[in-house]
């Protein structure tokens, strides 16, 4: 009988162990996904389906146990009232602390996320971004003024000294390249600090259109060589008195931008962009963290409630057996044997075993007393018969 009992226990534990492992796996996946937004967005649907399946399974198990307990309570089954009290007690012990912890956890999550978006930090990032832009704009305006002065100097130079004037202007201004272009943006003459530099490319239509409207252009552009970083392109129309803007020559200068300025500007812009993205995702972040915490809480509470039914039923089982045995004793039935093989070797199991042993001894004593009484009655009948025969013999 021991082997089948062990096999039955293992079979009964398999669903419990399987559900417990599934619960741990889902909680681990939620914890991992919450730390990585990309993984969470990728596996959101799968996690949601898994959690919903677990919740429905737990709700079904709780419903089955609750229906069974209600039926036993209405039928006044032995141990049903004590089981109900234990279940209610276990549920209260699980729900109340978990609810308090959930309330403060949600409040902590919301306050923690809000603390990421301090007004002073946002203002400091805005000021840093505006400062970097203002500094860069000031530097670009200074470059544009240098090119305008360069254009006046070249316009006043003698026709035969144009190359020398371009070279001198380039060295004085710190430009990497200076070029004189025609009204269509093609290079006429240029000077560069690199000896093997080819002629500049034609100006694009956007720059030419701005030149015709405003007479100048300044902007940052990436270099064709990745290792050179950014450079500032400053383009102004030559004075050329008496000529319309579309017929004037154009002076272009390329100024290298220090790599440190570009790196710092990119860092400020990147930090500000990340902050804006986090600010935009503040609500979804709160919702995702709260949803994760709520699902974990529901899974834990439903598991605790389901375990409360199983634990209460197991704790009440020895007491229920004792109540059945007590009723049998009060009704005079000493021959009923109590099932003690399913209980652990604890105090309640020892009590049930002792009670069963007591009932067996009482039944044995009752049988012996009944047997002795039967012997006495038989002897009494025998004596009465003998005495009856003796009386008849004396009278005769």
Indicate the pLDDT class of residue 30, thresholds 50, 70 and 90: low
Residue 2 is predicted with a pLDDT of 40
Residue 367 is predicted with a pLDDT of 77
- Cross-strand bridge partners of residue 29: none
Check whether 118 has a pLDDT greater than 70.
no
Check whether 70 has a pLDDT greater than 80.
yes
Residue 330 is predicted with a pLDDT of 75
Residue 340 is predicted with a pLDDT of 64
Number of H helices, E strands in the chain: 9, 5
Q: Where are the domains of the chain?
A: 2-115+282-311, 120-279, 332-386
Could you tell me the two tokens for 296? 């974990």
Residue 268 is predicted with a pLDDT of 72
- Evaluate whether 208 touches 237 at the Cβ level (below 8 Å): no
Residue 294 is predicted with a pLDDT of 85
Buried b (16+ CB within 10 A) or exposed e, 255-285: bbbeeeeeeebeebeeebeebeeeeeeeeeb
Q: Which of 354, 323, 326 is nearest to 340 (CA)?
A: 354
Question: CA 392, CA 396: separation in Å to the nearest integer?
Answer: 6
Look at 8 and 100; give whichever has higher pLDDT. 100
Check whether 396 has a pLDDT greater than 60.
no
Residue 114 is predicted with a pLDDT of 74
Buried b (16+ CB within 10 A) or exposed e, 123-148: eebeebbeebeeebeeebeebbebbb
- Cross-strand bridge partners of residue 233: 219, 254
Look at 110 and 7; give whichever has higher pLDDT. 110
Question: CA 379, CA 385: separation in Å to the nearest integer?
Answer: 10
3-state helix, strand, coil in the chain (%, to 5): 75, 10, 15
Check whether 58 has a pLDDT greater than 60.
yes
119-176 pLDDT, tens digit per residue, is 566 677 777 777 777 777 788 888 888 888 888 888 777 766 777 888 888 888 878 8
Indicate the pLDDT class of residue 1, thresholds 50, 70 and 90: very low
Indicate the pLDDT class of residue 341, thresholds 50, 70 and 90: low
Contacts of 182 (CB under 8 A, 6+ apart): 188, 249, 250
Residue 179 is predicted with a pLDDT of 87
Highest mean pLDDT among 212-216, 270-274, 314-318, 366-370: 212-216
Dihedral of CA atoms 213, 218, 220, 221 in degrees, nearest 10, equals 60
Alpha helices in 281-346 (DSSP H): 282-330
Mean pLDDT along residues 211-230: 73
Question: CA 255, CA 143: separation in Å to the nearest integer?
Answer: 8
- Evaluate whether 95 touches 301 at the Cβ level (below 8 Å): yes
Alpha helices in 157-242 (DSSP H): 162-173, 205-214
φ, ψ dihedrals at 269, nearest 5°: -65, -40
255-309 pLDDT, tens digit per residue, is 887 777 767 767 777 777 777 777 776 777 788 788 878 888 888 888 888 888 8
The DSSP result for 255-287, as a single string, is EEPPHHHHHHHHHHHHHHHHHHHHHHTHHHHHH
Residue 241 is predicted with a pLDDT of 47
List own/partner pairs for 160-163 with CB under 8 A and 24 or more apart: 162/189, 163/189, 163/191
Computed over every residue of the chain, the mean pLDDT equals 76
Report field, pTM of the whole predicted structure over 0.85:
no
The DSSP result for 76-131, as a single string, is T-TTHHHHHHHHHHHHHHHHHHHHHHHHHHHHHHHHHHHHTT-HHHHHHHHHHHHH
Mean pLDDT along residues 170-185: 83
Could you tell me the two tokens for 91? 């549920």
Residue 165: how many other CB atoms lie within 10 Å = 20
**To which CATH superfamily is domain 120-279 assigned?**
PAS domain (3.30.450.20)
The DSSP result for 348-390, as a single string, is HHHHHHHHHHHHHHHHHHHHHHHHHHHHHHHHHHHHHHHHHHH
């Amino acid at each position: 009988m021991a082997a089948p009992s062990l096999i039955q226990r293992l079979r009964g534990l398999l669903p419990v162990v399987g559900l417990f492992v599934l619960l741990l796996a889902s909680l681990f996946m939620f914890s991992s996904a919450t730390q990585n937004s990309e993984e969470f967005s990728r596996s959101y649907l799968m996690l949601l389906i898994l959690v919903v399946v677990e919740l429905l399974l737990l709700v079904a198990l709780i419903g089955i146990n609750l229906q069974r307990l209600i039926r036993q309570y209405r039928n006044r089954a032995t141990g049903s009232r004590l089981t109900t009290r234990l279940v209610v007690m276990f549920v209260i012990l699980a729900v109340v602390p978990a609810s308090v912890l959930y309330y403060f956890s949600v409040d902590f999550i919301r306050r923690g996320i809000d603390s990421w978006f301090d007004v002073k930090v946002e203002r400091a990032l805005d000021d840093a971004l505006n400062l970097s832009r203002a500094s860069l704009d000031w530097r670009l305006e200074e470059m544009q003024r240098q090119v305008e002065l360069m254009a006046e100097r070249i316009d006043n130079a003698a026709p035969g000294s144009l190359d020398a004037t371009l070279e001198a202007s380039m060295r004085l201004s710190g430009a990497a390249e200076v070029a004189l272009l025609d009204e269509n943006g093609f290079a006429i003459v240029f000077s560069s600090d690199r000896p093997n530099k080819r002629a500049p490319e034609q100006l694009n239509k956007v720059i030419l259109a701005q030149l015709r409207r405003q007479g100048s252009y300044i902007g940052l552009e990436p270099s064709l060589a990745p290792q050179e970083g950014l450079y500032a392109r400053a383009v102004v129309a030559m004075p050329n008195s008496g000529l319309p803007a579309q017929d004037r020559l154009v002076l272009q200068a390329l100024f290298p931008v220090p790599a440190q300025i570009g790196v710092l500007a990119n860092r400020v812009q990147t930090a500000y962009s990340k902050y804006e993205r986090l600010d935009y995702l503040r609500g979804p972040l709160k919702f995702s963290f709260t949803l994760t915490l709520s699902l974990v809480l529901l899974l834990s509470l439903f598991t605790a409630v389901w375990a409360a039914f199983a634990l209460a039923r197991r704790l009440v089982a020895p007491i229920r057996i004792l109540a059945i045995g007590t009723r049998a004793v009060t009704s005079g039935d000493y021959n009923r044997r109590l099932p003690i093989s399913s209980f652990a070797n604890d105090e309640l199991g020892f009590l049930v075993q002792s009670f069963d042993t007591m009932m067996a001894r009482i039944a044995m004593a009752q049988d012996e007393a009944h047997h002795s009484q039967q012997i006495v009655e038989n002897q009494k009948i025998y004596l009465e018969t003998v005495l009856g025969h003796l009386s008849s013999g004396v009278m005769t």
